[in-house]
Amino acid sequence: MAKIQLNGKKVVIKSNFSIFDLLKKYKLVNKKIAIEHNGIIVPKTNYKKRYLKTNDQVEIVHFIGGG
Amino acid sequence: MKKDILKVAGKSLRSRLIVGTGKYKNFSETAKAVYASGADMVTVAVRRVNILDKKKPILTDFLNPKKIIFLPNTAGCFNSEEALRTLRLAREMGGWKLVKLEVLGDKKTLYPNMIETIKSTKTLVKEGFKVMVYCTDDPLLAKKLEDSGAAAIMPLASPIGSGLGLQNIMNISLIIKQSKVPVIIDAGIGTASDATIAMELGCDGVLINSAIANANNPILMARAFKDAVISGRNSFLAGRMKKNNLASPSSPLKGLI
């Protein structure tokens, strides 16, 4: 188990969870999104290589309507 | 007649109307208004994904970024760091290098902070971004922005979402005259005729969000803006008649009975 902050909310995930696993959990695989892991942007090619641990901060963003 | 195309940062736009995608009732209305406007480019914002509701519809389900150019903006950013963070994330999302920078300075007027804006423009240009920049209507600062590498100068007509139309025609005219990159009016346009006036002045384009989204019938208003922009552009290209202080009869006096 690991407790992370995802988009400002506390979320509990399994240990050895990668960013890709997180995207699967939230049905976001292949969506137009971008990810910041502890303040650093993660390139798509690294989603499976980056693992999450307790106290990590993750931001997942996408496009919404705006002027 | 040669096709009148707006070239901005290497993109060719057939329509000189760029529309925002905020403030609509739902995404279906957004998409309908965008199509009615005939715009080739739309602005979009970057925000957190709603992780609590996985089934909520998302913008890209309704507007296809492969068919229409997405221009990611930094709306809501109040300093250079926030704006840069947002645009770097936008770039990661889909390789977007063409972005709209706006760094706000005041919560009430949403007036741009030009010091932070110029600073951010320089950084973004260095990182390879093509930056269309929301700015004040100060000709001197507009020139500084162009010298900093802005791909387009986007002065406000009046505060964002105010609908007050063009408040300083003289300044906008000065900016148009001096700029070598496109000048696009961003913010403050209230109704279709405002857009016509902007285009008649010689603006290269207009960016509209609230005036369409907040109309009673946004889809009809989108169509009105499409026509207004074409009309103003044609009027500018045609060149208006000279103004006279006295009358000049339209019918010949010769042969009068």
Alpha-carbon span A35 to A42, nearest angstrom: 6
Residues B36-51: tens digit of each pLDDT: 999 999 999 999 998 8
**Interface contact B48-A66, CB threshold 8 A:** no
Tokens 């914002």, located at residue: B45
ipTM: 0.92
With CA atoms as reference, the chain B residue closest to A42 would be B92
pLDDT for residue B1: 57
**Within 10 Å of residue B103's Cβ, how many Cβ atoms?**
26
Residues B62-102: tens digit of each pLDDT: 998 889 999 999 988 998 889 899 999 999 987 678 999 99
Alpha-carbon span B240 to B199, nearest angstrom: 13
In sequence order, the β-bridge partners of residue A13 are: A2
pLDDT for residue B60: 86
| Mean pLDDT, residues A6-22 | 91
Any residues with CB less than 8 A from the CB of B58 and at least 6 apart, and which? A31, A62, A63, A64, B27
Mean pLDDT, chain A, rounded, equals 91
B100 an active-site residue? yes
Task: Report the gap between the CA of A32 and the closest CA in chain B (Å).
Answer: 6
Does residue B248 carry a pLDDT above 60? yes
Q: Where are the beta strands (DSSP E) in B83-209?
A: 98-101, 130-135, 152-155, 184-186, 205-208
pTM for the complete prediction? Answer: 0.91
Alpha-carbon span B52 to B75, nearest angstrom: 24
Residues B49-58: tens digit of each pLDDT: 988 877 788 8
pLDDT for residue B126: 95
Lowest-confidence range among B82-86, B168-172, B228-232?
B82-86
| Mean pLDDT, residues A16-40 | 91
How far apart, in Å, are the Cα atoms of B208 and each of B41, B48, B137, B153?
11, 24, 17, 15
pLDDT for residue B249: 87
Q: Which is the catalytic residue, given B7, B25, B67, B100?
A: B100
| Mean pLDDT, residues B7-36 | 94
**Interface contact A67-B210, CB threshold 8 A:** yes
Interface check A24 vs B, CB under 8 A: no
Taking only residues 125 to 184 of chain B, the set having a beta carbon closer than 8 angstroms to any beta carbon of chain A reads 160-161
Task: Report the gap between the CA of B208 and the closest CA in chain A (Å).
Answer: 8
Alpha-carbon span B85 to A53, nearest angstrom: 23
Interface check A2 vs B, CB under 8 A: no
